[in-house]
Structure 1
Amino acid sequence: MSMGKSLLWICCISLSCMVLSSSNEKSGESDAQDPFTATVDGKEVAIYKLKNDKGMEIHVLNYGGRVVKIMVPDREGSIDDVVLGFDRLEDYQESSEAYFGAVIGRYGNRIAKGSFSLDGTSYALAINNEPNALHGGPAGFHHVVWEVLEHHDDHIAMKYIAKDGEEGYPGNMEIFMTYTLTDDNGFRIDYEATTDKKTVVNLTHHSFFNLNGAGSGDVMDHILELNASAFTPVDKTLIPVGTILPVANTPMDFTRPTAIGERIGEGDEQLTFGRGYDHNWVLDKAEPGLLTFAAAITAPASGRKMEVFTTEPGIQFYSGNFLNGSVSGKDGKNYIHRSAFCLETQHFPDSPNQETFPSTVLSPGEKYTHTVIYQFSVLADTR
């Protein structure tokens, strides 16, 4: 299957060549009543739409780089929104724990006790997931306004500069991020980052997916496959214990397609710690950095299928364990327990404190890159 367009223009991104396209169009630009048009911290926020001729659309909010909607056809041709979220900007701003559709950084996942050291210097981070730091801190990249550099029907390019000391992390970091909707219904994300001081970086994307449609019930019948024969077990605070264990003969084994709910209620210690699945899987790769298959998930009811391809060494599978019906989302629907899943491509949690894990250190003169593709398709009805 196609990996999407080669996107030659991405390869020439630099400070000197990235400019805002004069042909940009965004929804809500002149509509004062639009629930997503506002000024936040003196910067304009709006919705930007991507679309292709297959009927797929992706709606992007430059606040937090959030994917607000992904409209995808099912086997009957009905187009539904398959990501959880809200109908108003204010709800994204006020939500302190739901990372619906956001870019996550400077460090996705957890860092133990909000602390790490580089070259003998210790850095203290905000503790927002007691006793640990989570997803870059309470004011991480999910709560900042990204500068829109270019927008067309098939892509949007954005930029953010994280200041030295922001949320406790060292270095002024410049991040470029491009969302692309391909002709074959692929949603591609390309990240690049540089720094002027040695730091750590682990960017990821945090859409909550339900392939039957947002707010349409739980995802326990979704069939998941992970290209991973090992995972990183965690302690009760969800910090990796430092080992890599095989998934064989455990509920963590998704090397063969398996319903999410098939083993989630087993009395396994790892499932108890995570209240379900909330773990990092170690992807099987021939060599680091290759764009390779990571996961596939299907919804039998709708026939929608999503495959994930990434350059990253790991993927966090989260089964929506902390959703409990208290969050009122799109169209007033309450998001019930396990009504979505996340597949976050990443380096491993707590890598700055784990010498045996792949390094997340970025030094001046180096470039961080990360690509992920969420590829959508439809299966025939075999029920």
Structure 2
Amino acid sequence: MMVEVGKPSRFETVILTDGDMRATVLNYGAITQGWWYKGAQLILGFDDPINYFTDTTYMGAIVGRVANRIGGARLELAGAGFELNANEGENTLHGGAEGLSNQFWNLEQTAPNEVILHYLSRDGESGFPANVRFEVSVTLRNPRLTYTLQGYPDRPTPISLTQHNYYTLGSSKGVDAHKLELDSGRYLDIDEQGVPSGELCSTKDSELDFSTPRSIGYVPMTIDHYFCFDQNRDPADPVAKFTAPSGLSLAVYSDQPGAQVYSGAQLAKPLRGSAGLCIEPSDYPNAPNIPSFPSIICTPEKPYRQVLTLEISGGGNES
């Protein structure tokens, strides 16, 4: 039986600290508002939480129930059709208008370096079936920031979450000169609306080949694609590395099959284009509509779980 604790209706902020590292977490959207290492600002964030009400970039939020895009804002499950909220043209993006990023969560700081957030998503929110009890823990252990994302449904339903930081790594000049490396040899083909078609493409000799470090600004296209990680990778190795000219570097460790990478080209005022880079580990987008993709259906017997660890190293002057 799911019990809903009184839902907060105002902003609450928790500050996590450990050594030279600090992070702030909001109860709205389970947003990571800020993350600093030795004084360097590692992610984009708004100083005034009110700005998150009108933000359309999902900055720092936990997004879902299903991250990324669901084509046609529709899915079928066990022979039943479900019409979802279409909040990006005719498609559902990041869980729809009632997604997790647009909700107040219950927040509890359990240690100076840890916070746990809870949210009960009711059956029918944005059209998705089932009640789902979500739990997010954010733990800071210098030089790492770890997110543990869990979802407990009362009946079968699709779940695929992601964490949506925009990484700057201490730079106020944007990330065009930063270098990205991915443990990926394939990416998902997308249509003109950004919805995966079901086809997997090789990154080899393409503009999206990040098998060796490559500067973001030298890629002659907007990066907003889902990259499939090497299925035979060593889980002890990072799936992505992102390095600023200063030498400050982010290593991303994930148990997910891939990640959406977005270069932030469409960021608008008061921000600037390419001010930060998103690396968003999740299950395959549009999976409910593509049978060949791994299933994202979770059940009471098989709940949802994801662990994301971000590790910082190096550093120097701001780029």
TM class by smaller structure: over 0.9
TM-score relative to the length of structure 1 = 0.79
Deviation at 1:379, TM superposition (A): 5.0
Which among 79, 82, 86 is matched to residue 127 of structure 1?
A: 86
Structure 1 match to 2:45: 85
Which of 60, 70, 77 pairs up with 2:35? 70
Provide closer, same or farther for how the CA distance between residues 117 and 316 of structure 1 changes in structure 2, counting only shifts above 3 A: same
Shift of 1:152: 1.4
Q: Structure 1 residues 205, 59: closer, same or farther in 2, change over 3 A?
A: same
Deviation at 1:342?
A: 0.2
Aligned 8 A contact 1:131 1:237 in 2: no
Displacement, 1:157? 1.0
After TM superposition, give the deviation of residue 44 of structure 1 in Å: 4.5
Counterpart of 1:277 in structure 2 is: 223
Q: Corresponding residue for 1:58?
A: 23
- State the alpha-carbon separation in 1 of the partners of residues 7 and 131 from structure 2: 19
* Paired residues for 1:1-383 under 5 Å: 42-53=8-19, 55-73=20-38, 79-95=39-55, 97-183=56-142, 185-213=143-171, 216-263=172-219, 265=220, 271=221, 276-286=222-232, 290=235, 292-300=237-245, 302-324=246-268, 326=269, 328=270, 335-379=271-315
SS in 1 for 2:72: helix
Question: For residues 257-313 of structure 1, what are the alpha-carbon distances to aligned partners after superposition, in whole Å with 9 as ceiling and x for unaligned?
Answer: 1111112x2xxxxx4xxxx0000000013279x56521001001x321000000000
CA positional deviation for 1:72: 1.4
Mark the runs of 5 or more structure 2 residues left unpaired by the alignment: none
Aligned partner of 2:152: which letter?
T
- In 2: Cα distance, 1:124 partner to 1:321 partner: 31
Q: Counterpart in 2 of 1:9?
A: none
Question: d(CA) in 2 for partners of 1:291 and 1:127?
Answer: 38
| Shift of residue 212, structure 1, vs aligned partner | 2.7
The aligned amino acid for 2:84 is: L
* Alignment partners' CA distance in 2, 1:287 and 1:353: 27
For structure 1, which runs of at least 5 residues remain unmatched after alignment?
1-14, 20-39, 74-78, 266-270, 329-334
Aligned counterparts of 1:340 and 1:175: Cα–Cα separation in 2: 27
Deviations 1:221-260, CA, capped at 9 Å, x for gaps? 1000000011111111111111111100101110101111
Please identify which structure carries the higher strand content: 2
Q: Report the RMSD for the aligned CA atoms in angstroms.
A: 2.2
Identical-residue share of aligned pairs (%): 28
How many residues are matched? 317
Checking the alignment, whether the CA contact within 8 Å between 1:48 and 1:151 is kept in structure 2 is: no
Residue 150 (structure 1) shift: 3.9
Contact 1:294 1:315 in 2 (8 A): no
Contact 1:162 1:172 in 2 (8 A): yes
SS of 1:369's partner is strand
